[in-house]
Amino acid sequence: MTATRIDPWHNAYARRAAGMTASEIRALFAVASRPEVVSLAGGMPPVDGLPLELVSDIARRAVAEHAVTALQYGAAQGEASLRDAVVEVAAASGVRTHAGEVVITTGSQQALDLLARILLDPGDVVLVESPSYVGALGVFRSYEADIRHLPCDAEGLLPESIEGVVARERGLGRAVKLLYLVPNHHNPSGVTTSSARRVQIMLAASRCGVLVVEDDPYSLLGFDGEPGPPLHALDPTGVVYLGSFSKTFAPGLRTGFAVAPPAIRDKLVLAAESAMLCPSALSQQVIAMYLREYPWRNHVKGLRELYRERCEAMLAALAHYLPDAHWQAPRGGFFVWVELPGDTDARALLPRAVAARVAYVPGTAFFADGQGHSHARLSFCFPPPVDITEGVRRLASVVREEEAVRGAFRS
């Protein structure tokens, strides 16, 4: 083994470690958490919107009344009380399941990792939207998958692209294993896939024999009406459905779930056992008690109104300060996907934006192939409306300065 001054173990790493890179979002956290910076970067729910006294009481009682189980090892599939509650929560999003199909995970991010572990070999192909969730891209890269972006428009993924890409990749001898989608209030684009597209997507995936992973943390956070039938409802045997309590309850409890066909569920449980033995029994107990004892649907309704107000503030600020940018108004969720005016490179602009005390995520973070330079993801979930307006104003000022510099250089 050859050592280096920086890392004496650099030749000891597995090949897949070379594909592990820091998330651009996580790298922003240290800067974005400074009080003088308006963070339009992270998708963090404001936990001060929770009934904190109730949550504190539930956590106290979880230990006082259920210490024997809450502080002990548990089942790798998850505690039965929470899996029963997940059935009810999933039904609110249109997913019909039973507790036996549910696997509790450490956030839905771990569910993605476990799925990749049991399904992907190096060189396998994963199909994703354009753009796609940065956390999923990181998982797929870490398992040495080849990521292929499929085109999207204002109604979501273009279904006709699926079969052509699958045929091309298989013709080159590659296995196409997964189609990963965020159909409701997409991260980062904010797009909600239309009902007609959902049917067409599932028909194409079925014809190709490609497993669909439906990542759905935002379906309960729509502003108006229902987003459409879940993909899982269209073909339960061809979809693994992922959900999370991070957006509707508390991200710090790190609890999510997967609803999977029986054979895949069994493999997920085995993978979970090897990864962590079992998810946190205390977190599961707290969430299960909360769902049983508190009118959580009313809390979700309040979150919808909170996020609607903040989204409207962001859209109004964009229209006022950046009218020559382009965006699609989301119907729910946390994000607005903005194409900056002119030839603005969002990634190159970021240091100047941070110096001007505003943070966002450059669009390149959401592509595996270098696209997205002119785009930025702006998050409206965490700052109050007045800060959102000020953040967009600061961003617009930096964009105008950049345009002026480019104009002077061209002249």
Question: Are residues 165 and 24 part of one domain?
Answer: no
Q: What is the mean pLDDT of residues 146-169?
A: 98
**pTM score of the predicted model:** 0.93
Please give the pLDDT value at position 407. Answer: 65
pLDDT score recorded for residue 18:
75
Question: What's the confidence (pLDDT) of residue 55?
Answer: 86
Give the Cα separation of 150 and 135 in Å (integer): 17
Q: What is the mean pLDDT of residues 326-347?
A: 96
In a domain, 180, yes or no: yes
| Lowest-pLDDT range of 28-37, 71-80, 184-193, 329-338 | 28-37
For residue 355, the model assigns a pLDDT of 94
Residues 248 and 261 in one domain: yes
**Number of Cα atoms under 13 Å in the Cβ half of residue 331:** 19
Question: pLDDT for 342-401, tens place per residue?
Answer: 889 999 999 999 999 999 999 999 999 999 999 999 999 999 999 999 999 999 999 999
- How high does pLDDT run on average in the chain? 93
pLDDT of 92 over the 90 cut: yes
pLDDT number for residue 1: 45
User: Does the pLDDT value for residue 3 go beyond 70?
Assistant: no
Statement to judge: residues 281 and 305 lie in one domain: no
Whether residue 38 sits in one domain with residue 178: no
Q: Are 115 and 263 in a shared domain?
A: yes
1 found inside a domain? no
**Of the residues 293, 312, 334, which one is the last residue of a structural domain?**
293
Distance in angstroms (rounded) separating the CA atoms of residues 290 and 298: 13
202 and 138 belong to one structural domain:
yes
pLDDT at 2 over 90: no
Domain annotation covers residue 6? no
Q: For residues 26 and 68, state if they share a domain.
A: no
Pair 257, 338 in one domain: no
- Residue 75 in domain: yes
Does 86 lie in the same domain as 209?
yes
Domain boundaries, position 249: 52-293
Contacts of 180 (CB under 8 A, 6+ apart): 126, 127, 128, 129, 132, 133, 136, 140, 212, 213, 215
Contacts of 219 (CB under 8 A, 6+ apart): 93, 94, 184, 185, 227, 230, 332
Q: Is residue 10 a part of any domain in this protein?
A: no
Distance CA(198)–CA(99), nearest Å, equals 25
308 band by pLDDT with thresholds 50, 70 and 90: very high
Token duo for residue 158: 């273009």
Residues of the chain above pLDDT 90, percent: 82
Q: Tell me: pLDDT of 9 over 70.
A: yes
CATH number assigned to the domain comprising residue 217: 3.40.640.10
Residues 189-203: tens digit of each pLDDT: 999 999 999 999 999
Q: Is residue 178, in this structure, part of any structural domain at all?
A: yes
pLDDT at site 86: 97
Position 30 scores a pLDDT of 67
Out of 240, 261, 293, pick the residue that ends a domain. 293
Rounded mean pLDDT of 92-115? 96
CA angle 174, 178, 184 (to 5 degrees): 145
- Whether residue 125 lies inside any domain: the answer is yes
Average pLDDT over residues 170-185: 98
Q: Is residue 68 located within the same domain as residue 168? A: yes
- Flag whether pLDDT at 11 surpasses 60: yes
Q: Exposed e or buried b for every residue in 322-349, given b needs 16+ CB within 10 A? A: beebebeebbbbbbbbbebbeebbbbeb
- Residues 225-266: pLDDT tens digits? 788 899 999 999 999 999 999 999 888 899 999 999 999 999
Q: What's the whole-number mean pLDDT along residues 116-135?
A: 97
Pick from 293, 314, 340: which residue ends a domain? Answer: 293
The answer as to whether 4 is a domain residue is no
Q: What is the per-residue pLDDT for 224?
A: 86
Do 215 and 342 fall into the same domain? no
CA-to-CA distance for 324 and 178, rounded, in angstroms? Answer: 37
Q: How many domains does the chain have?
A: 2
User: Is residue 202 domain-shared with residue 125, that is, in the same domain?
Assistant: yes
Q: Tell me the pLDDT tens digit for each residue of 46-88.
A: 887 778 888 899 999 999 999 999 999 999 999 999 999 999 9
